[in-house]
Structure formats: C-alpha cells, structure tokens
Structure 1
Amino acid sequence: MKKFGLLLAGGIAGVILLSTIGPMVGLLVSVVLLYFIFKQFLKTKSIGGRIGLGILGFIVLMASLHNAPAIIGVAAAYVLYLVYKNWNKRKVNKINAADDPFINFEKQWNELKNY
C-alpha cells in the first residue's frame, strides 16, 4: 500500500513538473538576467546608466514575477526526490531496552563469557 501511495504521489508530481517546465526555464533566465543587471548596476558610475539599468531591472523583475508557477514546479521536483529516496527504504524495527527483558541478560552473559 505504501508503494502505491508513493507511485501516486510521484505520478502527480511528475505531471505537475512537466507542466511547469516552461515557467521554470523562464524564471531561471530572468533571475540570471536580473543578477547580471544588478552586478552591472553596481559597477556603473553614470547616473544615466544607473537609471537605464534600473528600468531594465524592473522590467526583468516583473517578467520573473509572471513565472511564479515555477515555484510549484520546484515543489513537485522536491516531492519526486522524496519519492525516489523513500522507494526502497526498509522499515527498521528498533528494540526498546525497557520492553525486552533479554537485553540485559545477553549483555551480562557476554560479560561472563569474557572472564
């Protein structure tokens, strides 16, 4: 039943990821452009250049805000990563020392054998 749930979650996340590839690429391009515009803005000494780069940066910032569905795509990619990570994970049964009376016996028996 756990594998079915993981398969269902992975399938839904895969469809969402495929449908948001365009906005993800657009967001990536606009963020890279915004980074380079900001770096050039810091280097520029002239007022006209700063005003031009500021306007260009504002336009690219607005373009990146229109790619907000890319955040849903990033979340879907993270869900796919979690499904992949938990697909073959085995359940480990830990023995609680308070519940098992034989743990102390085995420890003491090993100590007696060592003498």
Structure 2
Amino acid sequence: MKKLGLFILGAIAAIIAIANLGPIIGLAISLVVLYYSVKQFTKTDQTSKKVLWAVVGFIALSVAASNVPAILGIAALYILYIVYKEWKKDDSTPVEPKDDDPFTNFEREWAELNRN
C-alpha cells in the first residue's frame, strides 16, 4: 500500500515538474544573466558601462521574477527525489537468529547500545 501511495505522489510530482519545465529553464537562464551582469558591473570603472550592466541586471531580475512558477516545479523535482529515495529504501529488517549463547547476546546488546 505504501508503494502505491509513493507511485501516485511521484506521478503527480512528475506531471507538475514537466508542466513547469519552461519556467524552470527561463529562471535558470535569467539567473545566469543576472549573475554575469552583477560580475561585470562590479568589474567595470566606466559610468556608461555601469549603467548598461545595471539595465541588463534589472531586465534579468524582472525575467527571473516573472518565472516564479518555477519554484513550484523545483519543489516537485525535490518531491520526486524524496519519493525515489523512499522507493529504494529496504523495508525488510534482518532477522537475527536467537541464540542462547551469552556472549552472542552480549555482543548484540552492546552493538545496540552503541547505536543509540
């Protein structure tokens, strides 16, 4: 039953991520342009170039702000990652043989105490 829930959650997250693929790409490109414009703005000493890079940075910031739905797509990708990790997790716990040997029981209990 847990696998079915994970599958449904993963399918919904995949649909949301695919639907927001365009805004995610637009956000990534605009953030790269914004980063480059800030780097060039801080490098240059000429006023005209500073104005040019400030305008380019403002335009890139506006484009990044318009791609806010990309945050929903990024959250869906994160949910897909969590679903993948939970799907691969092994649910079975190893069964240790019950032994009446006191040293085996001691070693098992000592290992359990050290884990906590």
Q: TM-score range by the shorter chain?
A: 0.7 to 0.9
Tell me, what secondary structure is at the counterpart of 2:88?
A: coil
Structure exhibiting the larger radius of gyration computed from Cα positions: 1
**Change beyond 3 A, Cα 1:71–1:110:** closer
Q: Deviations over 1:43-69 (max 9, x none)?
A: 110112111211221111011000011
- 2:41 pairs with 1:20: no
Number of positions where the alignment pairs a residue of Structure 1 with one of Structure 2: 104
Q: What TM-score do the two structures reach when normalised by structure 1?
A: 0.79
Give the equivalent residue in structure 1 for 2:55: 55
Q: Give, in whole Å, the separation in 1 of the partners of 2:48 and 2:60.
A: 18
Give the equivalent residue in structure 2 for 1:39: 39
- 2:2 pairs with 1:5: no
Q: CA RMSD in A?
A: 2.3
The list of structure 1 runs, each at least 4 consecutive aligned residues, that deviate by more than 2 angstroms after superposition, is: 90-95, 105-111
Q: Which runs of 5+ in 1 are unaligned?
A: 96-101
Q: Which runs of 5+ in 2 are unaligned?
A: 107-116
Q: What TM-score do the two structures reach when normalised by structure 2?
A: 0.78
Identity percentage of aligned residues: 40
